[in-house]
């Protein structure tokens, strides 16, 4: 009910009468009044004026089920939201647990503070201060072969970039396969994990960590990380961003499922790919070499041109691609 009230209040800048709220929700005036008071206690500013009704004038930056749900405008992504103020382990792991219990395609686990965040290549994903970042994991049950699953990671990067653009107006870029960056600094990391059953995908968990309202980073991260607030000079609603990323994810995912590959997304992906047509350094288990990045193909592989003009397809996995001057 709180989520529905927030959604209705958000639909207009004007007042919405108590009577209208009751009719939309099919509940009594007292029930509406109680729910409005509960929202106020959570930090929402809701003006109540006699003969006019209710108006939303201030919203706390919280990652609750109600706040996220009231922004969501999707058909399946985030169909169920499990939100944590603090999770002692990883949202990816929690989503995997839910998948094992039969949770639906589109289930979303979100945490304000994630204490056991996992990064790629066995690294940890550092715990930022409460109220600043997004840690979320989307459970998917795609009808794809396991060999196609890595493309979901590229889809997620596109969705994060689009969500950021919609909420902040900022233009992020992508470092193949799935880091979202500004300049030489990372604003979002994505960890995609797949569970197989008898050779078929049982579920894929797409874990997304976004630095949203951090004012600064210290230590090692100072040179490598940035946040949306640092780029845009103001704070942003994390719940609105979660919803925008989910909306964009649905669109890109539909393209992938329809074609079975990224043929309709390669142009967009390549247009925001960093270091395209520049020299990159390929760090593979069997050696390090340099070539010119030519963008991705429909399978999501990075095409890198050797000095003799020969093109090599780099598939994500053990390989790391860097600019010749460092991370980007």
Q: Which of residues 197-256 bind ligand BTN (CB under 6 A)?
A: 207-209
Pick the binder of ligand BTN from 54, 125, 182, 253 (CB under 6 A). 125
CB of 90: closest distance to ligand BTN in angstroms? 3
The strand pair at 80-87 and 179-182 is best described as unpaired
Q: Is 192 in the site for ligand BTN (CB under 6 A)?
A: no
Q: Is 187 in the site for ligand BTN (CB under 6 A)?
A: no
Pick the binder of ligand BTN from 64, 70, 107, 137 (CB under 6 A). 137
| Smaller CB separation from ligand BTN, 73 or 124 | 124
Q: Are 67 and 239 in contact (CB under 8 A)?
A: yes
Give the separation between CA 312 and CA 284, rounded to whole angstroms: 13
CB of 152: closest distance to ligand BTN in angstroms? 14
Q: Is 127 in the site for ligand BTN (CB under 6 A)?
A: no
Tokens of 191: 């960890």
Of 83, 76, 188, 86, which is closest to residue 139 (Cα–Cα)?
Answer: 76
Give the separation between CA 109 and CA 184, rounded to whole angstroms: 29
| Smaller CB separation from ligand BTN, 67 or 179 | 179
Pick the binder of ligand BTN from 64, 70, 91, 227 (CB under 6 A). 91
Q: Which of residues 17-76 bind ligand BTN (CB under 6 A)?
A: none
Give the separation between CA 167 and CA 185, rounded to whole angstroms: 20
| Smaller CB separation from ligand BTN, 88 or 277 | 88
Q: Which of residues 101-120 bind ligand BTN (CB under 6 A)?
A: 114, 117-120
Q: Is 123 in the site for ligand BTN (CB under 6 A)?
A: yes
Q: Are 137 and 92 in contact (CB under 8 A)?
A: yes
Residue nearest to ligand BTN (CB): 189
Q: Is 90 in the site for ligand BTN (CB under 6 A)?
A: yes
Q: Binding segment for ligand BTN among 32-40, 86-94, 138-146, 273-281 (CB under 6 A)?
A: 86-94
Number of residues that bind ligand BTN (CB under 6 A): 19
Of 247, 324, 318, 309, which is closest to residue 279 (Cα–Cα)?
Answer: 324
Pick the binder of ligand BTN from 103, 174, 190, 244 (CB under 6 A). 190
| Smaller CB separation from ligand BTN, 59 or 314 | 314
Return residues touching ligand BTN (CB under 6 A).
90-92, 114, 117-120, 123, 125, 135-137, 189-191, 207-209
């Amino acid at each position: 009910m709180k989520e529905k009230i927030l959604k209705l209040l958000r639909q207009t800048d004007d007042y919405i009468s108590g009577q209208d709220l009751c009719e939309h929700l099919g509940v009594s005036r007292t029930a509406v009044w109680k729910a409005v008071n509960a929202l106020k206690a959570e930090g929402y500013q809701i003006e109540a004026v006699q003969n006019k009704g209710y108006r939303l004038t201030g919203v706390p930056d919280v990652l609750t089920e109600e706040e996220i749900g009231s922004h969501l405008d999707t058909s399946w992504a985030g169909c169920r939201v499990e939100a944590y103020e603090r999770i002692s382990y990883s949202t990816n792991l929690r989503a995997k647990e839910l998948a094992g219990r039969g949770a639906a395609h589109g289930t979303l686990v979100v945490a304000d503070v994630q204490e056991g965040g996992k990064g790629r290549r066995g690294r940890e994903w550092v715990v930022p201060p409460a109220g600043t970042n997004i840690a979320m994991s989307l459970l998917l049950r795609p009808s794809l072969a396991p060999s196609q699953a890595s493309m979901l990671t590229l889809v997620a990067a596109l969705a994060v970039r689009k969500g950021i653009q919609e909420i902040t107006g900022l233009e992020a870029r992508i470092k193949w396969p799935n880091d979202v960056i500004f300049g030489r600094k990372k604003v979002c990391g994505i960890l995609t994990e797949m569970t197989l059953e008898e050779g078929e995908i049982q579920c894929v968990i797409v874990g997304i960590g976004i630095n949203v309202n951090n004012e600064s980073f210290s230590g090692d991260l100072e040179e490598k990380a940035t946040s949306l607030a640092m780029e845009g000079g103001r704070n942003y609603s994390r719940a609105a961003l979660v919803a925008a990323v989910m909306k964009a994810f649905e669109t890109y995912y539909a393209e992938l499922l329809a074609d079975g590959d990224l043929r309709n997304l390669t142009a967009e992906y390549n247009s925001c790919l960093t270091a395209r047509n520049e020299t990159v350094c390929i760090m593979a288990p069997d050696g390090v070499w340099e070539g010119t990045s030519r963008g991705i193909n429909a399978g999501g592989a990075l095409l890198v041109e050797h000095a003799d003009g020969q093109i090599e397809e780099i598939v994500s996995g053990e390989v790391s691609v860097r600019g010749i001057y460092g991370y980007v």
